[in-house]
Amino acid sequence: GAPLLRASAPAVERRLRGSALVRGGFVSPAEAAELLRELEPGLGRRPYQFDHWDGAICGYRETERGRWGAVAGAVLSRVAAAFPPGRPPLGLVHVLDLHPRGFVRPHVDSVKFCGCTIAGLSLLSAAVMRLVSCRAPGEWLELLLEPGSLYVLRDAARYDFTHEILRDEESFFGGRRVPRGRRVSIICRNAP
């Protein structure tokens, strides 16, 4: 299929090979529908938050979930395979619901709350995730996150690069426009 990664230079792509990855079609449309059916009741009542002045995320609502039905549980155990032996994902999974105008500013997940690996499922809308080197801001990698895809950030991609989800106006993957709608991500992290 078409590439899901774009880098500022081949050396950046080589450096992050194995530490930033995307798998398209990781969940089937039926699994995605079942995940959303489980999640909607927990998300649907809260308003989206736009106003937090220093937060990384704008236009979102979120929850954490620890108990899943059979279909979702099976999907999450496949996600767990992206984690290193002995460093499994935490039992509470982060669910982030981004409004069509919502976005995530560049940040590195807190080393106080998150270990070496972050793995996220994207549902509903496609989006572009951009990684930028903390030391050399001209070095970047972009991930095209289609609905049903899984991304993994570990090691260098998790610690030495910021990550962000582009807002609709900036949502391009190279020359390709990636219109943003509502996006739900299911994010597994391991313990510090």
HEC profile of the chain:
CCCCEEECCHHHHHHHCCCEEEECCCCCHHHHHHHHHHHHHHHCCCCCECCCCCCCEEEEEEEEECCCCHHHHHHHHHHHCCCCCCCCECCCEEEEEEEEEEEEEEECCCCCCCCCEEEEEEEECCEEEEEEECCCCCCEEEEEECCCCEEEEECHHHHCEEEEECCHHHCEECCEECCCCCEEEEEEEECC
The binding track of 46-85 with respect to ligand OGA, each residue x by CB under 6 A or -, is ----------------------------------------
Q: Can residue 99 be called a binding residue for ligand OGA (CB under 6 A)?
A: no
The nearer residue to ligand OGA, 11 or 179, going by C-beta atoms, is: 179
The nearer residue to Mn ion, 6 or 105, going by C-beta atoms, is: 105
The binding track of 149-188 with respect to ligand OGA, each residue x by CB under 6 A or -, is --------------x-x-------------------x-x-
Q: Can residue 109 be called a binding residue for ligand OGA (CB under 6 A)?
A: yes
Q: Can residue 120 be called a binding residue for ligand OGA (CB under 6 A)?
A: yes
Pairing of strands 127-133, 161-165: antiparallel
**Residue number with the shortest CB distance to ligand OGA?**
185
The nearer residue to Mn ion, 1 or 110, going by C-beta atoms, is: 110
Nearest distance in Å: CB 137, Mn ion: 18
Nearest distance in Å: CB 87, Mn ion: 18
What is the distance between the alpha carbons of residues 183 and 36, in angstroms, rounded to a whole number?
11
Q: Which residues of this protein are in contact with ligand OGA, per CB under 6 A?
A: 96, 104, 109, 120, 163, 165, 185, 187
Q: Which residues of this protein are in contact with Mn ion, per CB under 5 A?
A: 109
